[in-house]
Structure 1
Amino acid sequence: MSKEISAENLKAYAEDFADLPKSNATANTVAHNGILASSRNLASDVAMTPNFSVEIDTGAVANQKQSGRCWMFAALNTMRHPLQDEFKLKGFELSQNYTNFWDKFEKSNWFYENVIATADLPLGDRKVDFLMATPQQDGGQWDMLCALIEKYGLVPKDVMPETYNSSKSAELNSTLNTKLRHDAVALRALVAAKKSAAEIDAAKEDMLSEVYRLLVFTLGKPPVKFDWEYTDDDKVYHREAGLTPQTFFKKYVGWNLEDYLSMINSPTADKPYNHVYTVDLLGNVVGGRQVRHLNLKIDDFKQLAIKQLQAGETVWFGSDVGKSSDRQLGVMDTNVYQKSDLLDLDLSMSKAERLDHGESLMTHAMVITGVDLVNGQPTKWKVENSWGEKVGHKGYFVMSDAWFDEFVYQVVINKKFLSDDLKKVVADEHDNPTVLKPWDPMGALAL
């Protein structure tokens, strides 16, 4: 039964406020400085010093600028780290614009295919609404990047450099999404008119041709074959002629992407641990690699990341970067702000409660490049971000272990570090993962 707020209620609320110790002083502080600055905890700065017992030197950070391609930057960073050392290429980057072009092209086809598949559902159906809300965007997940590389390979950044639209993507995203929704109207109408599969496919091919045109206008034309010149750190000149994106990836990166698996930590009741999950409608390459997650307890989750770091390999991870973090100082710590103490509010929620109630999900991907172990246990982690060198410690952040527990949701691990039992789970459930709803928080895209 509804109940309005009465004058008596308001009087009681005012009296409660007046009875709060130092309420006026707190009100003045917060009103003038804001909640975050007023609750900033100096002890966090002391605890989050950038010193680590296990650390991988990865050089200067990249900068995704005004785009949501963190998942791409983070993944390509993990691949360029060993490449820089092996070929003596300090500061080298792989082309994020190249993968960006094919991601947007493939996401358009993915959208068209799902529009056709759901065309019999009415407007207003939750699945249809989900598709139309964001036909495509910059964000993604690890397996989606792998699907692109497996199909299209990679190129150096100087072969397909950044453009205005790759670095500042709002105009392109807005225009492309308008086109995709426009095309969705036409595709749904063709299905409603019971046109043949051949007629619908022909219409879709015309639409994809127009998408390709738009992407070339805004991002440039991706190379099919190229010559690559570079001078290494020893001042030795090199020239490779007649490379393709696939041969470049094979020679200079050489990873078997099937070896790298997504682990998640989702302590919600609907996702029992030690099982493999996928998410309906999540992906980019039709016929390509499926998004799969192995859900693990937090201790198992962290120990795998530590093993990979100790073996000299960095770790791609997804987290909710905006929670309890100071972007400018590069600190991610559950104690960085003391908002509950400042405001006399109980703001506590468990990790599962935050996921179940829309308080948190993966928003950003970065790379773990170090960890500080004390008596074998992690206390803080070194993080390579992709926001340039003007934030944090020349672009690097420090993440407390408590923050890792609460706000890290995904890590990518080479399967060689998994126990035999977990390898068996992955093998047994690879082709038959549990399918989650499209709007499940584990389907969130990192931006």
Structure 2
Amino acid sequence: MQTELTFEQLENFSRKWRENPDKLVFQASIMKNGIKAATENPTSKVSIQPVFSHEVATDKVSNQQQSGRCWMFAALNTFRHKLNGTLGLKDFELSQNYTNFWDKLEKANYFLEKIIETASEDEDSRLVSWLLDTPQQDGGQWDMLVSIIEKYGVVPKFAMPETFQSGKSADLNHLLNERLRTDAVILRKAFTEKKDTAGLKEEMLAEIYQLLVMTLGEPPKVFDFEYRNKDNEFKQELQITPKDFYERYVDMDLKNYIPLINAPTKDKPFNQAFTVDYLGNIVNGTPIKYLNVEMDALKKAATDQIKDGETVWFGCDVGQLSEKTTGIMDTDIFLLNQTFGFKTAMTKAERLDYKHSMLTHAMVLTGVNVANGEVNRWKVENSWGEKIGNNGYFVASDAWMDEFTFQVVVHKKYLSKELIEAFNQEPIALKPWDPMGSLAL
């Protein structure tokens, strides 16, 4: 039987509040300054210094601006660190707009294919409703970027620079999703009337292509790459294709990289491979696939890769216990329990199960600090520009990593034979709305 909130209970709540006059100081500070500013822990800020025993040399941070392309920026940053180190370039970036164009076009095709596939279901079915909630968006995951690279390659930023809408994507996403939902109406009707859906879809994609060209520009088929190397020697390569550019200058075999996740929920056993239904961008592209591992195994692989001089793509819940002005991510950065008197808390698994946490953002791990044989903090390259954090770089405590990091991508040489074999097994398919299928923004 449900019970309503009574006035007697309200009086008891008020009486308990008045019995603790010390809280008035906290109340005054919070009401004037806000929760985070009033509860910020100075001890945490002092103890988490931006100094690291092992660090990969990197350039100034990139800036995704007002868009949700963090996963793309993070992946391209791992590529450019390798390229810049090899060629001796400074602050060189790969075009995020180029990969963004192809991602959006491919997501449109992926969505329309799924609409045709589910056309026999009611529009209020959970699956169709889920598809229609967000036909496409800026976010994504590592394997989706791999699909783009393998099909389209990459180009330097100068070959396809940012535009107004690439950096401020809300209007483009709104218009694109309006067109895709309109197309969904037409395709579902055509399916019911047994009309040609393939021909209709091609016309729709031509319209989407035009929209993307007008807002993001048309991707180059070839471009000239001219630069001076670390020895100040002039180098020139004319009319190179995006795929050739990736193979010659980035030259990372992405098939050797394995996404590891830490999802300690009952439905996801460790050392088991997983995929997510209806998650992707390129039809028949690289499938989404992870290996669920213990957190210690995930962190060890990431640490070993950093120690060998290679940065690590990782996905986390960046908004949890994170102070972006100084760039500190720590479980003790805010004294919330002490201030409000909270006596209970959720575990990492419970936060996933009860919708309080998921992968929301991707960044790059570029350093670790080892003290007494243990890692105690991590250097993080963000993609929010240089005005926050330490010139755009953040520091995460190891405790924060344990609680709010869900994924890293590492070369398979940093994994045991047993873990590689576990990854190669047939994956268990998760539902589309599983938190492991959330897209990094």
Superposition TM-score, scaled by structure 1 size: 0.97
Instruction: Check whether the contact 2:271–2:422 (CA below 8 A) recurs between aligned residues.
Output: yes
Amino acid at match of 2:241: T
How far, CA to CA, are the matches of 1:58 and 1:284 in structure 2?
30
Aligned to 2:6: 6
Secondary structure in 2 matching 1:392 = coil
Secondary structure in 2 matching 1:102 = helix
Q: Number of paired residues?
A: 441
Give how far 1:233 is off.
Answer: 4.8
Aligned to 1:114: 114
Aligned to 1:298: 295
How far, CA to CA, are the matches of 1:346 and 1:410 in structure 2?
29
Identity of aligned residues (%): 51
Secondary structure in 2 matching 1:382 = strand
Amino acid at match of 2:348: K
Amino acid at match of 1:206: E
Instruction: Tell whether 2:176 aligns with 1:187.
Output: no
Aligned to 1:34: 34
Deviations 1:193-240 (A, max 9, x none): 122xxx110000000000100000000000111222223454433221
Indicate which of 274, 278, 296 corresponds to 2:275: 278
Give how far 1:375 is off.
Answer: 2.1
Which has the higher mean CA deviation after the structures are superposed, 20-29 or 313-322? 20-29
Secondary structure in 2 matching 1:158 = helix
Indicate which of 405, 415, 432 corresponds to 1:438: 432
Amino acid at match of 1:24: L
Amino acid at match of 2:437: G
How far, CA to CA, are the matches of 1:207 and 1:233 in structure 2?
47
Aligned to 1:47: 47
Amino acid at match of 1:260: Y
How far, CA to CA, are the matches of 2:248 and 2:24 in structure 1?
66
How far, CA to CA, are the matches of 2:207 and 2:66 in structure 1?
25
Secondary structure in 2 matching 1:122 = coil
Indicate which of 394, 404, 407 corresponds to 1:410: 407
Aligned to 1:400: 397
Following superposition of structure 1 onto structure 2, how do residues 21-420 of structure 1 map, counting pairs within 5 Å? 21-195=21-195, 199-346=196-343, 348-420=345-417
Give how far 1:88 is off.
Answer: 1.3
Amino acid at match of 1:440: D
Give how far 1:181 is off.
Answer: 0.2
Amino acid at match of 1:103: D
How far, CA to CA, are the matches of 2:355 and 2:182 in structure 1?
30
Secondary structure in 1 matching 2:67 = coil
Amino acid at match of 2:361: H
How far, CA to CA, are the matches of 1:257 and 1:337 in structure 2?
39
Give how far 1:72 is off.
Answer: 0.4
Deviations 1:277-314 (A, max 9, x none): 00011000001100101000011111111111111110
Secondary structure in 2 matching 1:318 = strand
Amino acid at match of 2:382: N
Give how far 1:273 is off.
Answer: 0.2
Secondary structure in 1 matching 2:15 = helix
Secondary structure in 1 matching 2:363 = strand
Deviations 1:67-110 (A, max 9, x none): 11000000000011011011111110000000000000000000
Secondary structure in 2 matching 1:38 = helix
Deviations 1:254-283 (A, max 9, x none): 111100111000000000000000001100
Give how far 1:323 is off.
Answer: 0.5
How far, CA to CA, are the matches of 1:154 and 1:346 in structure 2?
51
Q: Which runs of 5+ in 1 are unaligned?
A: none
How far, CA to CA, are the matches of 2:404 and 2:255 in structure 1?
26
How far, CA to CA, are the matches of 1:232 and 1:299 in structure 2?
39
Amino acid at match of 1:298: M
Amino acid at match of 1:404: M
Instruction: Check whether the contact 1:332–1:399 (CA below 8 A) recurs between aligned residues.
Output: yes
Give how far 1:336 is off.
Answer: 0.3
Deviations 1:143-178 (A, max 9, x none): 000000000001111001111110111111000000
Instruction: Check whether the contact 2:290–2:423 (CA below 8 A) recurs between aligned residues.
Output: no
Amino acid at match of 1:217: M
Give how far 1:19 is off.
Answer: 1.5
Supply the RMSD in Å over aligned alpha carbons.
1.0
Secondary structure in 1 matching 2:345 = coil
How far, CA to CA, are the matches of 2:105 and 2:421 in structure 1?
35
How far, CA to CA, are the matches of 2:300 and 2:187 in structure 1?
48
How far, CA to CA, are the matches of 2:60 and 2:344 in structure 1?
37
How far, CA to CA, are the matches of 1:80 and 1:344 in structure 2?
47
Instruction: Check whether the contact 1:90–1:233 (CA below 8 A) recurs between aligned residues.
Output: no
Amino acid at match of 1:69: R
Deviations 1:319-360 (A, max 9, x none): 000000101100000000011111112351100000000000
How far, CA to CA, are the matches of 1:235 and 1:300 in structure 2?
42
How far, CA to CA, are the matches of 1:325 and 1:442 in structure 2?
21
Secondary structure in 1 matching 2:370 = strand
